[in-house]
Structures are given as C-alpha cells and as structure tokens.
Structure 1
Amino acid sequence: MSTQEQKVAIVTGASQGIGSGLVAAYRGLGYAVVATSRSIARSEDPRIHTVQGDIADTDTATRVVDAAIERFGRIDTLVNNAGIFIAKPFTDYTDEDFATYVGINLNGFFQITRRAVPHMLAHGGGHVVGITTSLAEHANSNVPSVLASLTKGGLESATKSLAIEYAGRGLRANAVSPGVIKTPMHAPETHEAMAALHPVGRLGEISDVVDAVVYLEKAPFVTGAILYVDGGQSAGH
C-alpha cells in the first residue's frame, strides 16, 4: 500500500491509556498513525511516527501536522485525545490551573485542528474526533469540575459547529463523552469509589472508549454526535 493510498490518523495524548489504545486500533484499521505526547517513545512500527511535545504549545501542533504530511502525505482523521481533568471545588482552582486547562483542552484542540483540517479537505474530507467528559452535560455534586465542564463543554459545542460548517465538504466531526475510565490516571485505591458514580456500578475500560471512536470512524452518516460512553451517568441517577 503506497503512502498516498493509506489513510492517516493523528492521535494526541498517545503514549498511554486511551491514546495508546487508539493508536493500536487505527493501525488495526490499516491506517498509518502520527502519535504525539510529551513523553512518547519511538515506535518500531514504520507506519507509526511519534512526535514528542506538549499539545498546549502551538509549535507542537505545527510539528505534528508537518510530520504527517512529510512522512505519509496526507491526514484523514484527527483524534483530539489529549486532555486534563482535575476535580476541585470551584474556588480552589488557581490561575495556574486555569491556564493549564485552557492550554491543553482548548488551545491544544484549536491549534492542531486548525492546521489539520485543510489537509483533510484537500483529499475530499476527513474526520475530527474529540474526547470530552459526560460531566460537561451532566454535572455531579460529588465531582466538582467546573474547569473540565468549561473546557470540555466548549469542545462539545465546537464539535457540533465544525460538523455543520463542513458537512457539505466531506468533513465529519464527532466526540466521545466518557465516564470514569480505568487508566493509569486513576490510582487503584480510588476505583471502588469512582465505580459507584456510574449506574452500571463499574469503571469503563479503555476498550469501551476505543470501540466508540472506531464506531464513529466507520459511520459515514454520523456527524455532530456526542456519544456517551459513561455507564449510564448521562441518563441520570
């Protein structure tokens, strides 16, 4: 398969957890992948190109998109997986917390998506996928998370706006909105308490989120969707 025929996905926050699972999934779909995070290691797979960098840094967005074009010649999908979530009472958040949230969750999304979309359109369209949080739409007093709602809620609105702006040009935009997923971010001693937040009584698995993204990738009639993968949280308690 030549470079120009093989589809190419960019995955941010790709070194572990959901991001690592997404890289493997897209390779399984036959895509070449450009994977980025601050600490990502070089891959032995010649169809996985890794780029180290902080997604909050605009230079990282430029380097990742340039690498995709230089190495593989095109961009078909961008998965904005990188994100930060820290639960705190609203008045405990600091200016530094705010800057970090905006840098990673919003600036990271904005800079890399703005650079990737023209390359997608050049090949007749593509797919932008975001990873948000169900708390953005369904607040929970047990998990105070205003900055997550502020930024991830913004991403959900942006997803719908992108979907409509580019619907006639072959570009789709969707988001997966997870509950609490069992990843290295969460210490094992917290799992029982976090599992209780979900009506189904368990944490989500990385595969639950990856499978949702793969579904969206394979669903050409789906755009502007926020797909809840949250163990029933969005339905209520």
Structure 2
Amino acid sequence: MIRPDLTGQVALVTGSAKGLGRELLLTIAGCGASVAVHYRTSGDEAETVADLARERGAPAVTTVQADVTDPDEVTAMFDAVEADLDTVDVLVNNVGAFAPRHWTDIDYDTWQTVFQTNVDATFLTCRRALPTMREQGYGRIVNVGYASSEKGMVNPKNAPYFMAKASVLMFTRMLAADTQDDGITVNAISPYVVENSDEFPEELPRGRPASYADMEQAMLFFLDEESDYISGENVEVDGGWLPEKV
C-alpha cells in the first residue's frame, strides 16, 4: 500500500467517528499526521477513534462536533481545529446521506437532506479550508463521490444521491481549476459499494464490495507528495462496475 509520510501535517476528516470516515482518518494517523475527528452526534465513538489515532501514531488529536450543513457550525469547527492543531493541511469530505428508494417515495425533507449533506457540506468545508491552504501554499482535498454518477447514469432509485454526487464531482473539478497555482490539489474517490454498506446487490464486481483498504489506497495516492501534479481527478473504486441504464 502507498504509505506517504504525512508528518507535520494536520488532517480533518468529516464523519470520522464511524464507518469509512473512521478508517480513512486512522489510516492518515498511521502516516504520521495530526488528526481532527469530526462527528455530529456520535461523541462517544469519536473519543474512541481519537484514542485509536493516538495508538496509530498521530502526534496530536482533537475531536470536533459540528453539523457540516450549517455555515456557522462549519466555521466554528475549523476555528476549533486551527486553535488546537494550528492549521488544516488535509480535508477529506466523507459525510453524505443517501436514500435508496424510488424518487417518488422520497419526501422533500429527505431529498433536501441528501443534497445538503453531500453538496452543501462539501461547499461549506472547502470554502472555509481554502483561505488557510492558499495562505500556506499547500493543501490536499479529497471528496468522496459515487461511481458512475457523472457518466449519465439514469436510475429512478436513489436519484438524489446520484445527482448530488455528480455535483460533488463537478465541484471537485472546478476547485482544482481554481487552485492550480496555489499548491493545492482537489480530487475525488468514488466507490460503488463499500464493505460497511447496509445491503449488497446480488452481483458485485469481482465478487465483493470495495474494502476500506481499497478506499484508503486511492486516498493515499492523492495525499502522496509525489502526486502534486494530479488535481481534478476522480478514482472510481468500483471493481470495474458499469451500471446499465434503465
């Protein structure tokens, strides 16, 4: 596995008290970075992850609570991380709700939640992170997308999630273009089904879901110092999945 030396860097991973976010954060901690464990309601789990991050070798660890769809709370979250850890060099946007139902069965509040947690949250965290990254002339942003969501996939089930993730990937490329002279890279990693999913399709590429290690490998590639010319890219961690249009 790629194992970049992230000593001296500070990473914030949203939604890192559980699931994929937790594993991505612990992997970064194992590379020597200081880390901020973000949570909204899972405070006890966040403290457990913080302890594990210290065991993995993170020199400094903090936990921070915020609703990342709220502009004021996002600002306060970054203020707290910068007060405790001095800066944010790496931002991983992992938060994002989904609604695996036919679009006609999704109520408006759920529709809004999917877009807010995926699109609005990514916009708010990037908007707050970039001034600091620009000032220091360095930054790495990795957004979590969804495989094939920008390939014109048509599926009435989970439609807001596909639409939201397509927006995230478009935003990723726009940010990459806007930061190309600032020492910052902005990329995305996009799974199909990850090992912590609540349910699995009958058929999976290569007979299995994406493992945490698969996702970590893609993320670490973008965080590696030698990947500093690669920006605006999306790695689909999907085993070669190609959905049929319906």
Separation in structure 2 between the aligned mates of residue 195 and residue 210 of structure 1, nearest angstrom: 25
- Specify the SS of the correspondent of 2:187: strand
Q: How far apart, CA to CA, are the structure 2 residues paired with 1:195 and 1:53? A: 36
What SS does structure 2 have at the residue aligned with 1:83?
A: coil
2:208 corresponds to: 202
Paired residues for 1:1-237 under 5 Å: 6-38=8-40, 39-40=42-43, 41-42=46-47, 43-44=50-51, 45=54, 47-138=60-151, 139=153, 141=155, 144-183=157-196, 185-186=197-198, 190-191=199-200, 194=201, 196=203, 198-218=204-224, 219-234=227-242
Offset from partner CA, 1:65-98 (integer Å, 9 cap, x none): 1122101111111100111122111222211112
Q: Distance in 2 between matches of 1:222 and 1:175?
A: 11
1:215 is paired with a residue whose SS is helix
Amino acid of the structure 2 residue aligned with 1:84 = A
- Name the residue aligned to 2:3: none
SS where residue 200 of structure 1 aligns? helix
RMSD: 2.0
C-alpha contact (below 8 Å) 1:18/1:210 kept by paired residues: no
Q: Mean alpha-carbon deviation: is it higher for 43-52 or for 103-112?
A: 43-52
Runs of at least 5 residues in structure 2 that lack an aligned partner in the other structure: 1-6
Rounded to whole Å, the distance in 1 between the matches of 2:202 and 2:193 is: 8
Which residue type is aligned with residue 72 of structure 1? L
Supply the distance in 1 between the matched residues of 2:202 and 2:28 (Cα, whole angstroms): 28
Measure, in 1, the Cα distance between the counterparts of 2:176 and 2:99.
Answer: 28
Shift of 1:201: 2.0
How far did 1:236 drift? Answer: 7.3
Partner SS for 2:91:
strand
Distance in 1, Cα, partners of 2:14 & 2:202: 26
- Show CA shifts across 1:112-139 (max 9, x none): 1101111111111211110011141353
Contact 1:173–1:223 (8 Å) recurs in 2: yes
Name structure 1 gaps, 5 residues minimum: none
1:164 positional shift: 0.8
Q: TM-score, normalised by structure 1?
A: 0.88
CA change 1:75–1:115 in 2 (3 A) is same
Matched residues, percent identical? 29
- The answer to whether the 8 Å contact 1:121/1:169 transfers is yes
Contact 2:99 2:106 in 1 (8 A): no
* TM-score (ref. length: structure 2): 0.85
Displacement of 1:195 in angstroms is: 5.6
Does the CA-based 8 Å contact 2:89-2:133 persist in structure 1?
yes
CA contact (8 A) 1:34 1:68 kept: yes
Q: How many residues align?
A: 225
Write the distance in 1 (CA, Å) between the matches of 2:166 and 2:154: 14
